[in-house]
Amino acid sequence: MILEEFIPTIEAEWEPETGFFWRIRQGHFRKEDFERVLAKFLAVPSVAAPMVPLRLVSILWYVPIFMHWQCDRVREQGSDLAQYEVAMTKLTNEVERILGVP
């Protein structure tokens, strides 16, 4: 599968009402949504290509930062913060696996 093919499936998680990232922006963390997103991230191979689609990089690198910013909202809405922190760590680890680290 070429890297561009992963973009729409990950972008869909920002869609209003149904997207995992949209929901956590509203403070609602659902484990089943997280599991769906994690599966999408796990499907993306580590990037060893010299040219990586810019859009793929932009939607991946932003996830850990965004999730960190939403911690207060998730806590305020009564979601399980410990589960949310595990989800943040797993998705951050996947971003590092896919894009690499300095």
pLDDT-derived band of residue 1, with 50, 70 and 90 as boundaries?
A: low
Tokens describing residue 43 = 């499907």
Is the model's pLDDT at 19 over the cut of 90?
yes
In this prediction, residues 40-59 reach a mean pLDDT of 87
Query: Is 92 contained in some domain?
Result: yes
Query: Is 48 contained in some domain?
Result: yes
pLDDT recorded at residue 22: 96
Query: Is 12 contained in some domain?
Result: no
Least confident of 34-43, 52-61, 79-88: 52-61
Q: State the total domains in the chain.
A: 1
In this prediction, residues 67-91 reach a mean pLDDT of 96
pLDDT recorded at residue 49: 67
Q: Locate all alpha helices (DSSP H) within the chain, ordered by sequence.
A: 7-11, 20-25, 31-43, 54-69, 71-76, 81-99
Tokens describing residue 7 = 């973009």
Q: Each residue of 17-48: b (16+ CB within 10 Å) or e?
A: eebbbbbbbebbbeeebbeebbeebeebeebe
Record the pTM. 0.86
Contact 92, 62 (CB under 8 A): no
Q: 58 lies in which domain range?
A: 29-99
Query: Is 57 contained in some domain?
Result: yes
Query: Is 65 contained in some domain?
Result: yes
